[in-house]
Structure 1
Amino acid sequence: MAESMRQPNYVLQFKEHHYTMFNPEIDFAKIFETHTPLKIEYKDA
């Protein structure tokens, strides 16, 4: 659970850097999987 709580913080930073040039309506899950290896930890947890 602790790891799941920690991820949103990283996601927010990632969002600020990448979503600036993208539409916030974009499928976030897709971007998240494509650009971050956290996908594995997320599914593992």
Structure 2
Amino acid sequence: MIPGSSPGGNIFYIIIFNSSRSVVVITFALHAKGPRFEPGRKHF
């Protein structure tokens, strides 16, 4: 939301703000399109 903020910080903010796990997974996938999303999804 704040311009100039790091993308990583934004992702963390969204995860902390949203309790729904589905939202967290979607946010991670949109921001991080890599192997990190794969293990995360399997865990959930």
- Provide the TM-score with structure 1 as the length reference: 0.35
Q: Name which structure has the greater RCO, CA cutoff 8 Å, separation 6+.
A: 1
The structure richer in helix per residue is 1
